[in-house]
């Protein structure tokens, strides 16, 4: 009886286990990577294919590999050491130069493919901070070129201990389960009904560009939510919506405006700063004009959130009156009297969707700690926003942000002093000088 | 024993305007360039952000951005028969001490010199004959003409985002501009700054006197601007915190705002700050330099080998470094021979303080170079046949700032210097006072020169520079004439009190804050017996040493020097790129 019961319970469990195992297998199936060679090692001598290396350099730019795999301020490209702060703890980016001992010198091309596209490295499963859930879309050709480029890099001996997460997140095998839940293990599928340009844009956005890594909100386990490209919080910043909501997304931006922003770091109104400035500097400014137009063309078709503009606060609201005073004294010299900013140099507030995002984290952070505009070949200025954390108290900081979010045609929820206080504490920003 | 750095194509000593412009040109030509700057790195966002209230006491009164005398100073005397003493307090000489040099803390007046100013010897003799020059005067041509420099003035105005109004475009007079300027290829990149009440009063006075007023060309942006390097500047806010301050709004022309954002991206450029060059090292035959020796912030000695050495520090330091390094023959006053230290010049200042009644001049609305001027009495713009001097001065009214400490002395003559009467007078004067300020030409003189002090040394034990200067007869006569004109102007403007101002009537003191414009000592020219540099700013003696800055001026013009510092630097850079690199050696036969 007892045996039977166990059997009775066991069979469905077994069935579930088999089914789960099948799904687990499929989620972690890297059979597609078998197209890559499995004998030659990254560091082995081989005749260089100059054209492939050049194409690979471009793929590396589109994928922004340097952003994470080069330490801040380091001259040693791809030698790792960049601390990635995840909600689960800190990960240190790995050394991906062709050093045999501390880099990927002993990897074959197939090892490289499996790591980049499927998160399976010779050392075990990778964490999804490495955006293989986007890179899985990379074509075989791009992967091949990218490997050629990585092989052309100078080996750097730099030992990195990547995994500095606390228990239980330090157990790499958990990633297999994460893949089961959240890894969409499919190559890029062009849509026949769309233009080649649109498909190129979709490929760049979802594949190498891994835009969703920041611009799509995450669930509690770090998987993508369904609000695709509709904005997400990120290490104290808020990556705004880049889908088509006209109020807080790109709905009111034209294709040339989006392309210009990605090329130069600005489009006459918004100026990239914070993590997006890094993305522009390291990646998007290096893309061809055709690819930037393709990205913009695709983004303009992504369905936007249904965020509605609230009614703006009345100008005689006490917070608005105080905010106007703070603005006139502290902000107007650069951002100008009507929030228009200075084209391609100082962010304009009027009609700027990111300023009206429901989540004001980026505004609060920039006000308290300052920031710097993207520095690009096309626009090397890099004007800086000074820190005001030492100067403005929580109430005044909240008032001025509320003011810029509700003036000159803008409308957004007020920022509260409590929000500012919380961000000040979280960022370790200084208290007001008495 | 100095540690060795890797050889570079060019080392630049001093990263102010001249050094930045030279570095921009040479790196763009593909040369590897290291700049050595004895001051610290300074930039807008970190050092003078608009979040920080402009602090008059720190930056202006206490001169927070200048090189302190405790670090290095100079010794001064009026006449060769006197002993010189070191200056130990803030004085009229304003040594920059940071990346950007004096180009960070200047006001922004961006003049071109007049064609006459480059050829005063030839043109004076041609118009007035041989006997026009006072005894002892060393008037000489620069070996370069205004027309040679015009494209480089133009380039600088484009880089700097200069606001102004042309008076002469390719020979065509332009209404509202300066009718006495040399022909320009085109107008300024930005229109003139907004006008103030003081400008209107000055224009009315000028019209009454039949003079031709125009807006002073300003390195303060009248609007948003993008320069040829792709660097953006923001519109000036008219805060008036320019001189002695860094601009927090990216609105004042400066190496930080205009050049460095592009320059620092270039992989073939690097800068070492807090690195003071002690000497230029020469090869055994003294015909070429091998590099420079410098000392870093930790007191370590370094040698920077280089194929080209560009000396582009403060004007006086350029001369001192040449003297310390043995480049060129020092000027010897007794024999009248030698060239390094020769033809030092200052700016000849005179004018009139003016006090109006019931005006609202609102001096808190201003900019470093917001001024209205006339050039009718400048240079050789008027007939000197019946005058006993050459040269002249521009005359301007300046809406530069309304700083409460600095303006405290601007009260009518006879006012007590403190107490309730002073307060009452200051309250009234704040809205009613200004001055007709005249910046005059200055010419070299036998008894005016720079050399190494025989007594006093700096903290490294090296001799300080000794300045021997007093107003010469020609310049004093000119200033007297100009002060009369300024008084006329004050009355024509309707001032209630006009107080004549003629500092040239007594011996010069560097403790009088008349002007910071100090020039010459390593001048350019076509004659190696009277100039340290050939017309391409190349040392006559050491062909891979180029010396850029106001030290190259054979005489000072009747206006601010920065535009001409830039134009001569860019002219020399052009010669290095187009001629010297192809065939290193003297560009002109001595």
At A312-358, the pLDDT tens digits run 899 899 999 999 999 999 999 999 999 999 999 999 999 999 999 99
Identify the band that residue A176 occupies on the pLDDT scale cut at 50, 70 and 90: confident
Contact A134, A207 (CB under 8 A): yes
3-state DSSP helix/strand/coil percent for chain B, to nearest 5?
25, 25, 50
Identify the band that residue A6 occupies on the pLDDT scale cut at 50, 70 and 90: low
Whether the pLDDT of residue A246 is over 80: the answer is yes
What pairing do the DSSP bridges indicate for beta strands A237-239 and A232-234? Answer: antiparallel
At B26-61, the pLDDT tens digits run 999 999 999 999 999 998 888 998 888 889 999 999
Q: What mean pLDDT value characterizes chain A?
A: 92
Which H helix or E strand runs over B310? strand B301-311
**pLDDT (mean) for A118-133:** 91
pLDDT at A222: 86
Reduced to 3 states (helix: H, G, I; strand: E, B; else coil), residue B168 is strand
3-state DSSP helix/strand/coil percent for chain A, to nearest 5?
45, 10, 50
Whether the pLDDT of residue A4 is over 90: the answer is no
Count of A-B CB contacts under 8 Å: 67
Neighbouring CB atoms inside 10 A of A72's CB total 8
d(CA A318, CA B467): 63
| Minimum distance, in Å, between the CA of residue A230 and any CA atom of chain B | 32
- Phi/psi of residue B181, each to 5°? -75, 160
Whether the pLDDT of residue A5 is over 80: the answer is no
CB contact under 8 A, A382 and B261: yes
Identify the band that residue A45 occupies on the pLDDT scale cut at 50, 70 and 90: confident
- A387 in contact with B, Cβ within 8 Å: yes
At B105-138, the pLDDT tens digits run 999 999 999 999 999 999 999 999 988 888 899 9
**pLDDT (mean) for A242-254:** 96
Is B517 catalytic? The answer is: yes
What DSSP designation does A48 have? -
At B212-269, the pLDDT tens digits run 999 999 999 999 999 999 999 999 999 999 999 999 999 999 999 999 999 999 999 9
At B391-421, the pLDDT tens digits run 999 999 999 999 999 999 999 999 999 999 9
Identify the band that residue B88 occupies on the pLDDT scale cut at 50, 70 and 90: very high
At B343-362, the pLDDT tens digits run 999 999 999 999 999 999 99
Identify the band that residue A8 occupies on the pLDDT scale cut at 50, 70 and 90: low
Contact A220, A151 (CB under 8 A): no
Predicted TM-score (pTM) of this structure = 0.94
Query: Which of A338, A375, A381, A429 to mutate: most B Cβ within 10 Å?
Result: A381
Identify the band that residue A175 occupies on the pLDDT scale cut at 50, 70 and 90: confident
Contact A250, A243 (CB under 8 A): yes
Whether the pLDDT of residue A131 is over 90: the answer is yes
- Which residues in B lie closer than 8 A to residue A383 (C-beta atoms)? 44-45, 232, 234, 250
| Minimum distance, in Å, between the CA of residue A39 and any CA atom of chain B | 38
Q: Which token pair is A161?
A: 């201990």
Reduced to 3 states (helix: H, G, I; strand: E, B; else coil), residue A60 is helix
Which of B398, B517, B543, B574 is flagged as catalytic? B517
Whether the pLDDT of residue B463 is over 60: the answer is yes
Whether the pLDDT of residue B270 is over 90: the answer is yes
Measured between CA atoms, the residue of chain A closest to residue B51 is A386
- Which residues in A lie closer than 8 A to residue B262 (C-beta atoms)? 380
CB contact under 8 A, B261 and A378: no
d(CA B409, CA B429): 10
Identify the band that residue A152 occupies on the pLDDT scale cut at 50, 70 and 90: very high
Whether the pLDDT of residue A1 is over 50: the answer is no
CB contact under 8 A, B237 and A330: no
Angle, to 10 degrees, between the axis of helix A289-299 and the axis of helix A255-264? Answer: 130
Whether the pLDDT of residue B182 is over 80: the answer is yes
Whether the pLDDT of residue B166 is over 60: the answer is yes
Q: What mean pLDDT value characterizes chain B?
A: 97
Whether the pLDDT of residue A366 is over 50: the answer is yes
Q: What percent of chain B has pLDDT over 90?
A: 96
- Which residues in B lie closer than 8 A to residue A384 (C-beta atoms)? 44-46, 49
- Phi/psi of residue B137, each to 5°? -70, 135
Measured between CA atoms, the residue of chain B closest to residue A332 is B237
- A72 in contact with B, Cβ within 8 Å: no
pLDDT at A434: 82
pLDDT at A24: 79
Chain Cα centroid distance, residue B262 = 24
Whether the pLDDT of residue A2 is over 60: the answer is no
In this structure, of A94-108, B66-80, B123-137, B271-285, the range with the lowest mean pLDDT score is B123-137
Measured between CA atoms, the residue of chain A closest to residue B251 is A334
At B481-535, the pLDDT tens digits run 999 999 999 999 999 999 999 999 999 999 999 999 999 999 999 999 999 999 9
């Amino acid at each position: 009886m007892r045996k039977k019961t166990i059997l009775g319970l066991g069979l469905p469990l077994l069935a579930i286990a088999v089914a789960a195992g099948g799904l687990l297998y499929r989620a972690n199936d890297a059979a597609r990577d078998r197209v890559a060679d499995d004998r030659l090692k990254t560091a082995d001598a081989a005749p260089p294919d100059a054209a492939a290396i050049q194409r690979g350099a471009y793929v590396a730019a589109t994928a922004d590999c340097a952003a994470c795999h080069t330490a801040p301020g380091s001259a040693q490209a791809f030698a790792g050491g960049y601390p990635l702060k995840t909600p689960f703890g800190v990960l240190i980016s790995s050394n991906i130069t062709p050093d045999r001992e501390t880099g990927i010198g002993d990897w074959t091309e197939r090892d490289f493919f499996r790591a980049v596209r499927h998160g399976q490295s010779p050392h075990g499963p990778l964490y999804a901070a490495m955006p293989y859930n986007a890179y899985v879309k990379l074509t075989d050709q791009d992967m091949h070129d990218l490997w050629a480029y990585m092989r052309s890099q100078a080996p750097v001996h730099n030992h990195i201990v990547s995994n500095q997460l606390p228990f239980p997140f330090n157990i790499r095998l958990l990633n297999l389960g994460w893949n089961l839940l959240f890894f969409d293990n499919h190559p890029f599928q062009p849509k026949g009904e769309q233009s080649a340009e649109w498909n190129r844009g979709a490929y760049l956005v979802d594949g190498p560009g891994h835009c969703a890594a920041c611009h799509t909100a995450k669930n509690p386990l770090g998987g993508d939510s369904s609000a695709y490209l509709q904005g997400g919080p990120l290490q104290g910043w808020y990556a705004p919506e880049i889908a088509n909501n006209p109020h807080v997304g790109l709905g009111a931006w034209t294709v040339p405006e989006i392309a210009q922003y990605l090329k130069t770091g600005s489009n006459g109104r918004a100026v990239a700063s914070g993590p997006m400035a890094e993305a522009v500097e390291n990646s998007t400014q290096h893309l061809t004009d055709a690819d930037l137009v393709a990205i913009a063309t695709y983004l303009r078709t992504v369905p936007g959130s249904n965020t509605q503009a609230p009614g703006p606060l009345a100008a005689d609201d006490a917070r608005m009156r105080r905010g106007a005073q703070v603005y006139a004294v502290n902000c107007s010299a650069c951002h100008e009297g009507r929030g228009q900013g200075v084209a391609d140099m100082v962010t304009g507030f009027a009609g700027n969707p990111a300023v009206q995002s429901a989540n004001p984290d980026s505004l609060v952070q920039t006000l308290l700690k300052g920031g710097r505009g993207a520095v690009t070949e096309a626009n090397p200025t890099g004007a800086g926003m000074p820190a005001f954390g030492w100067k403005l108290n929580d109430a005044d900081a909240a008032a001025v942000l509320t003011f810029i979010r509700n003036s000159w045609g803008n409308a957004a929820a007020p920022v509260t002093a409590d929000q500012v206080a919380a961000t000040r504490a979280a960022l370790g920003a200084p208290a007001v000088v008495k | 024993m100095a540690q060795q750095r890797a050889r570079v194509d060019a080392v630049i000593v001093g990263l102010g305007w001249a050094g930045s412009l030279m570095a921009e040109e040479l790196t763009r030509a593909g040369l590897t360039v290291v700049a050595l700057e004895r001051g610290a790195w300074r930039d807008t966002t970190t050092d003078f952000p608009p979040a920080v209230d402009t602090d008059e006491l720190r930056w202006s009164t206490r001169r927070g951005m200048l090189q302190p005398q405790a670090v290095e100073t100079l010794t001064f005397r009026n006449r060769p028969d006197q002993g010189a003493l070191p200056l130990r307090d803030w004085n009229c000489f304003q040594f920059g001490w940071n990346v950007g040099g004096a180009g960070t803390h200047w006001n922004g007046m961006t003049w071109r010199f007049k064609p006459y100013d480059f050829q005063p010897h030839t043109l004076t003799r041609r118009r007035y004959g041989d006997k026009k020059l006072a005894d002892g005067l060393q008037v000489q041509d620069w070996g370069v003409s205004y027309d040679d420099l015009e494209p480089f003035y133009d380039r600088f105005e484009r880089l700097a985002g200069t606001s102004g109004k042309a008076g002469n475009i390719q020979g065509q007079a332009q209404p509202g501009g300066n009718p006495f300027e040399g022909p320009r290829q085109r107008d300024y990149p930005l229109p003139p700054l907004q006008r103030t009440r003081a400008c209107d009063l000055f224009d009315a006075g000028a019209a009454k006197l039949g003079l031709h007023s125009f807006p002073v060309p300003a390195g303060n942006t009248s609007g948003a601007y993008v320069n040829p390097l792709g660097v953006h500047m923001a519109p000036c806010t008219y805060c008036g915190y320019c001189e002695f301050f860094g601009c927090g709004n990216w609105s004042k022309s400066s190496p930080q705002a205009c050049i460095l954002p592009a320059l620092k991206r270039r992989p073939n450029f690097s800068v070492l700050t807090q690195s003071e060059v002690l000497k230029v090292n020469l090869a055994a035959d003294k015909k070429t330099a091998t590099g420079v020796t410098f000392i870093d912030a930790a007191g370590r000695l370094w040698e920077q080998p280089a194929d080209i050495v560009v000396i582009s520090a403060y004007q006086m330091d350029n001369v001192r470094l040449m003297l310390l390094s043995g480049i060129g023959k020092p000027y010897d006053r007794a024999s009248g021979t030698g060239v390094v230290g020769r033809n030092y010049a200052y700016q000849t200042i005179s004018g009139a303080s003016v006090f109006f009644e019931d005006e609202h001049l609102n001096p808190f609305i201003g900019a470093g170079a917001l001024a209205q001027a006339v050039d009718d009495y400048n240079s050789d713009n008027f007939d000197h046949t019946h005058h006993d001097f050459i040269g002249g001065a521009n005359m301007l009214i300046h809406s530069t700032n309304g700083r409460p400490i600095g303006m405290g002395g601007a009260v009518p003559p006879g006012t007590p210097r403190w107490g309730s009467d002073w307060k009452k007078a200051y309250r009234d004067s704040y809205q009613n006072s200004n001055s007709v300020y005249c910046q005059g030409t200055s010419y070299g003189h036998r008894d005016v020169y720079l050399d190494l002090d025989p007594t006093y040394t700096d903290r490294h034990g090296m001799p300080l520079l000794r300045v021997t200067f007093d107003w010469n007869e020609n310049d004093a006569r000119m200033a007297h004439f100009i002060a009369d004109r300024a008084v006329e102007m004050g009355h024509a403007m309707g001032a209630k009190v006009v107080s004549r101002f003629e500092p040239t009537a007594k011996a010069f003191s560097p403790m009088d804050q008349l002007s910071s414009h100090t020039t010459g000592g390593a001048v350019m020219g076509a004659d190696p017996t009277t100039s340290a540099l050939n017309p391409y700013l190349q040392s006559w003696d050491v062909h891979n040493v180029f010396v850029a800055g106001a030290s190259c001026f054979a005489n000072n013009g009747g206006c601010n020097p920065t535009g001409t510092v830039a134009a001569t630097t860019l002219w020399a850079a052009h010669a290095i790129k187009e001629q010297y690199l192809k065939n290193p050696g003297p560009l002109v036969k001595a």
